[in-house]
Amino acid sequence: MKAKREEVLRKILVCTSQVFLCAMLIFSGKLAIAADRPNIVVFLTDDQGYGDLGCFGSESLETPNIDQLCKQGMKFTDFYVHQRCSPTRLALMTGSHAHRAGCTKVIYNKDRIGINADEVTTPELLKSAGYTTGIVGKWHLGEWDTFNPTRHGFDFFYGFMIDLDQGTGIYRNLNRVESIKRKTDGEHSPKLLDAAIGFIKENNERPFFLYYASPLPHTPWIPNERFQGTSQRGTYGDVIREIDWQVGELMRTLEEQGLTEKTLFIFASDNGPVLGINGGDAGPFRDGKWTDFEGGIRVPCIMHWPGTITPGANCGQITGIIDLLPTFCAIAGVDPPVDRVIDGRNILPYLKGADVRTPIHESFIVPGSVIRHGRWKLLVRELNPGGKSGREGKRPSARAGSLFDLEADPGETRDVSADHPEIVADLQRRMELAVEELEANSRPIGRLPDDHASETRRKERKMETQQM
């Protein structure tokens, strides 16, 4: 009996060792594959207009570091996002239109909603390919612990969350480390930058994904003291210079760590500029934030990847924030989710300068609102000027059914629908099909459990009582 038990134990140990060895080989193999993959940095600004960079036509804003990034990388002239903050960030995380992922509004603390735990996020996919993932700055996809970035694929988080009891704070992972008044105060820029630089240095020997979500140049503009009074465009210009400094410092860190040629660096904005105040500029486009005019949804985008992207290249094809997830998957060698609809497409062929005969995207659609197909853009519903009441002046609205030729008229000033009824009919049909498909394949936004929801209401009533 004793001999049989010893033999059984020996076989168990052998099997266990073999399983452990196989697991280690798989893990080491994954690391070896990941080691050949580039790092990925996404620098996303908040409310920066298409015309707010020197390399995108500004003659009054100084952005030397970003301009150099553009000179050495690829300029995307037709890069689309959503018209406000949270939806764009949701699209970045899911590779889907925010409409499909359940939320087209700004997510506030009181909403008790955030990114759904069932979403397969960009950082989760990259983690499966051996990447270390970090986010610095503004999350805005749910302010509650349930929605904390570290619960949705990020290994590291240093940035802003809002608590009903304590107000806005800076968090490191799940822990509140500082209470603050405003996210946009420039005194926080060195802290955010230090956190990002620390993340890069700590992970310089393995592939990483860094999402640097700057809270700038969102209002109120409070530039860091080193940039106050340094621009030709007042306080707004000072903040843009601060952003440019942050980009420059991150690029310098990559250079010092020998990572420049091993890193895809992407710069973009989450939506167009706030209008009606002496601030952002949508360049040649109409209107800005809060609208689906080009000024609200077309933003500056630059991608920099030495050895892969030809310096000084331009991409005039339709692309967007939804494309980053599938593109990153292609770069990392991991498949996007197949159990759901992903609206984005892999645009790596554009980055590599491949001869793409058929555009990767023939259309860009804001479901139920506007559709761009090639040079044409149709408004399916009436669009009103953006901006807060009283700030936007008396800019005109545009009626439903308006058709614009964006090649001849990027400012959307001339409705040519009467001249091209066949194009109007075609685009209306395409929109109807797109909305029908989306409604059949949409996913819900995440919601707090009932016990959290009741606690939220209790805190809100308490705050209302204190303010009376």
* Domains of the chain listed by start with CATH number: 38-361 (3.40.720.10), 370-446 (3.30.1120.10)
Which tens digit of pLDDT belongs to each residue from 329-378?
A: 999 999 999 999 999 999 999 999 999 999 999 999 999 999 999 999 99
pLDDT tier at 386, thresholds 50, 70, 90:
confident
pLDDT of the residue at 21: 42
pLDDT of the residue at 30: 47
Q: What is the DSSP string of 243-303?
A: HHHHHHHHHHHHHHTT-GGGEEEEEEESS----SSS----TTSS--TTS-SHHHHEEEEEE
Residue 192: is its pLDDT beyond 70?
Answer: yes
The more confidently predicted of residues 160 and 16 is: 160
What 8-state DSSP symbol labels residue 134? E
Task: Give CB contacts under 8 A, 24+ apart, made by 29-37.
Answer: 30/129, 30/130, 31/130, 31/206, 33/129, 33/130, 33/333, 34/129, 34/130, 34/131, 34/206, 34/207, 34/332, 35/130, 35/206, 35/207, 37/129, 37/130, 37/131, 37/207, 37/331, 37/332, 37/333
Spatial distance between the Cα atoms of 177 and 159, rounded to a whole number of angstroms = 10
Residue 62: is its pLDDT beyond 50?
Answer: yes
Poorest-confidence range of 1-5, 109-113, 289-293, 383-387? 1-5
Spatial distance between the Cα atoms of 314 and 67, rounded to a whole number of angstroms = 13
* Residues with active-site annotation: 85, 140
Average pLDDT over residues 269-296: 94
Report angle CA 79, 345, 363 to the nearest 5 degrees. Answer: 55
pLDDT tier at 16, thresholds 50, 70, 90:
very low
Spatial distance between the Cα atoms of 70 and 48, rounded to a whole number of angstroms = 16
pLDDT of the residue at 5: 54
Residues whose CB falls within 8 Å of the CB of residue 124, separated by 6 or more in sequence, listed in order: 152, 153
- Report the run of H or E that residue 331 belongs to, with start and end: helix 324-332
pLDDT of the residue at 466: 43
pLDDT of the residue at 109: 86
Q: Is 57 left (phi over 0), alpha (psi -120 to 50) or beta?
A: left
Residue 38: is its pLDDT beyond 50?
Answer: yes
CA dihedral defined by 426, 288, 140, 153, rounded to 10 degrees?
50
Average pLDDT over residues 87-105: 98
Residue 387: is its pLDDT beyond 90?
Answer: no
pLDDT tier at 8, thresholds 50, 70, 90:
very low
